[in-house]
Amino acid sequence: MECPMPTINTNDAKELKSIFEECKTIAIVGLSPDNTKASHQVALYLQQHGFKIFPIYPKGDYILGEKVYRNILEIEEKIDMVDMFRKPEIADTLVKECIGRGDVKVFWLQLGIVNNNACEIAKKHGIKPVQNRCTKIEYERAVRP
């Protein structure tokens, strides 16, 4: 996947470490209740490392013991990061919701997901974009070397 749009320098462990230190609440868009799916495994890992997660999924009431929301606009608590496990085109709508909330600091598209347009919009609105990276892998690399 090509990522010509500049996102944060994901080779900069200092920058990544600061993201994980600043972000305590993470809305995980596309968090599957299936524990064999990457979204579930990543969310569980983040939860086990002290992050408050908000599952975003179209069905069910609870995933990983947390109330399931249908979209990020339903969440009344502060969201520091939005971590997306959906098709790239969903990011165009999701970034607008992040901007509308006014509290999202980081717009993260998971490994294999690239949407340069959505990341450019995020950046223009003061939200740090990261794409084609895994939060679990980058947390381990930057915070738990």
In sequence order, which residues have a C-beta less than 8 Å from that of residue 84 and are 6 or more positions away?
29, 30, 90, 91, 94, 107, 108, 109, 110, 113
The domain over range 13-142 is classified in CATH as 3.40.50.300: no
pLDDT digits (tens, 9 = 90+) for 45-102: 999 999 999 999 999 999 999 999 999 999 999 999 999 999 999 999 999 999 999 9
| CA pair distance 127, 60, nearest whole angstrom | 30
Q: For residue 15, give both structure tokens.
A: 């920058």
In sequence order, which residues have a C-beta less than 8 Å from that of residue 61 and are 6 or more positions away?
67, 68
Task: Examine the pLDDT at 144 and tell me if it is beyond 90.
Answer: no
Calculate mean pLDDT across residues 110-130. Answer: 95
* Per-residue pLDDT, 96: 98
| CA pair distance 59, 48, nearest whole angstrom | 23
